[in-house]
Amino acid sequence: MKFKLLAAAVSSIALASPVFADLVLPWMSYRTGPYAVAGIPLADGYADYLTMLNERDGGIGGVPVRLLECETGYNTEKGVECYESTKAEGSLVYHPLSTGITYQLIPKVTADGIALHSMGYGRTSAANGKIFSNIFNYPANYWTAASAGVNYLLNENSGSLEGKHIALLYHNSAYGKEPIRTLEGLSEKHGFELTLIPVDHPGQEQKSQWLQIRRERPDYVIMWGFGVMNQVAIQEAANIRFPMENFIGNWWAGAEHDVIPAGDVANGYKSLVMNDTGSEFSIYDDIQKYVVASGKAAGAGDNLGTVMYNRSLYMAFLTHMAILKAQELAGTSDISQAEMIKGMEALEITDAMMAEYGLANIGPAFSVSCENHGGPGLGAVSQWDASAGKWNLVSDYLVADMDLINPLIQADSLAFAQENNITERCN
């Protein structure tokens, strides 16, 4: 009789308590294929952060987090398949990790009411939240990156680039062409000459491009590359003895694997960044304790502290903060897909939050709003120290030229709105 009473009591308590489903977070990884070198640490960082949350905190707001990793091989068709096969699981936010996949998913997530976060890639004009209700690309995008790069060069040249010559070496794809409009506008504004030099996929052979650079002798080379294109470009730059300190890659051309193959000659190469690098953040103590030491790390544990690992830790942190905000606004830990979007739109990242969660100064403080899904668009520059084998920040976070970029974002997003009969929101 006592046992029956106890069982009844337990079951009634269980029924009375809210039953929380998992917080489902999909991750479109590319652990295979030509870009796996970047895809593996990215996937490991995100997975390890979520494992740490589950092991240390029991999830977010008491609800366990469930990672849905789906392999795309950086292939757009596979990325769309991944989306279709995981969206019914209650996925809260997608990280497509590819500009091509992002473009394909924009109409799909909008129709399905699911959030998409393309951090530092994807469609730049998605920063206009009035048009792109479900797409977020905070804290920075390609156009702000290009502008931050030019602002860095302005600082290096006492505020004037008049008469200077900058070459843009870019992957001949939609991704590589993203900064062209911004750089053309900045070239007009600041009076520097801009030369566009495309490199065909995959970029293993760049002799023509570097002979052109050698002939034309630009003062600076900005690179929008990915994969093998980066390693070959850095080696070719060294071969023609182009000064490495005048060679700046974007943030997909500035990881350890981009510079290590060239060895010591890569010393001094620079890269744009949207977040800080290294393993000095206190979060690494918890990752070691709750994830690596207990054998639950997603990889072999050898990517901790690398540029790509840190970037996905940062992505996971921003997702974590958005879920907390969504839970706060919804008044429940078990949030819906629509509530996740509200959380992302109300996201505010402060220095205190970054410090509290073990990532002090990993990026700038910023906030998101209904109108602005792109954040502040700040970018800094880091430089490779080959002897120490590490990247060092060599600039503050620089403010992009929003007077030039905002009209570009406005024009591109309005064109998208017209094509798709979208009316502006946030009014």
Partner 1 sequence: MPEQVVFGMEVFLNGLMAGVLYALVALGFVLIYKASGIFNYAQGVMALFSAMTLVGVMNGQVPFSHLINAIFGTEIHHFGWHLPALAGILLTMGIMVILAWLVQKVIFKHLVNQAPIILFMATIGLAYFMEGFGDLMWGGEIKKLDVGIPQGINLWIDETTFNIFDYGFFIDNLDIFATVVAIFLVFALVAFAQYTKQGRAMRAVADDHQAALSVGVSLNFIWVMVWSLAGFVALIAGIMWGTKSGVQFSLSLIALKALPVLMLGGFTSIPGAIVGGLIIGVGEKMFEFLVGPLIGGATENWFAYVLALLFLVFRPQGLFGEKIIERV
341's tokens: 């979007």
Shortest separation between residue 83's beta carbon and partner 1, angstroms? 24
Contact 134, 379 (CB under 8 A): no
Q: Does 205 participate in binding partner 1 (rule CB under 8 A)? A: yes
Buried b (16+ CB within 10 A) or exposed e, 195-231: eebebeeebeebeebbeebeeeebbbbbbbbbbbbbb
Shortest separation between residue 184's beta carbon and partner 1, angstroms? 14
Residue 266 or 404 with smaller CB distance to partner 1: 266
| Among candidate residues 67, 29, 69, the one with its CA nearest the CA of residue 51 | 67
Residue 153 or 298 with smaller CB distance to partner 1: 298
Amino acid identity for residue 402 in this structure:
M
Q: Does 260 participate in binding partner 1 (rule CB under 8 A)? A: yes
Total residues interacting with partner 1, rule: CB under 8 A: 38
| Rounded distance between C-alpha atoms, residue 219 and residue 239, angstroms | 17
| Rounded distance between C-alpha atoms, residue 281 and residue 283, angstroms | 5
| Rounded distance between C-alpha atoms, residue 39 and residue 33, angstroms | 9
Q: Does 267 participate in binding partner 1 (rule CB under 8 A)? A: no
Enter the DSSP assignment of 400.
P
Shortest separation between residue 39's beta carbon and partner 1, angstroms? 9
Per CB under 8 A, the list member of 25, 31, 87, 269 interacting with partner 1 is 31
Per CB under 8 A, the list member of 104, 235, 279, 336 interacting with partner 1 is 235
Amino acid identity for residue 200 in this structure:
D
Enter the DSSP assignment of 379.
B
Shortest separation between residue 226's beta carbon and partner 1, angstroms? 11
- For the window 161-200, what string marks contact with partner 1 as x by the rule CB under 8 A? -----------x-----------------------xxxxx
Which residues partner with 63 through β-bridges? 60
Shortest separation between residue 200's beta carbon and partner 1, angstroms? 5
Q: Does 202 participate in binding partner 1 (rule CB under 8 A)? A: yes
229's tokens: 């294109």
| Rounded distance between C-alpha atoms, residue 83 and residue 91, angstroms | 9
Contacts of 330 by beta carbon, 8 Å cutoff, 6+ apart: 336, 339, 342, 343
Site for partner 1, residues 291 to 320, rule: CB under 8 A: 295, 300
Contact 166, 187 (CB under 8 A): yes
Q: Does 378 participate in binding partner 1 (rule CB under 8 A)? A: no
Contact 147, 166 (CB under 8 A): no
Residue 70 or 180 with smaller CB distance to partner 1: 180
Shortest separation between residue 118's beta carbon and partner 1, angstroms? 24
Residue 255 or 344 with smaller CB distance to partner 1: 255
Other C-beta atoms closer than 10 Å to the C-beta of 104 total: 16
Which of 14-22, 30-38, 86-94, 246-254 is the region at the interface with partner 1 (rule: CB under 8 A)? 30-38
Shortest separation between residue 303's beta carbon and partner 1, angstroms? 9
Amino acid identity for residue 334 in this structure:
D
Q: Does 257 participate in binding partner 1 (rule CB under 8 A)? A: yes
Residue 202 or 358 with smaller CB distance to partner 1: 202
- For the window 237-256, what string marks contact with partner 1 as x by the rule CB under 8 A? -xxxx---------------
Interacting residues toward partner 1 by CB under 8 A: 31-34, 36-37, 40, 172, 196-200, 202, 204-205, 207-208, 211, 214-215, 227-228, 231-232, 235, 238-241, 257, 260-263, 265, 295, 300
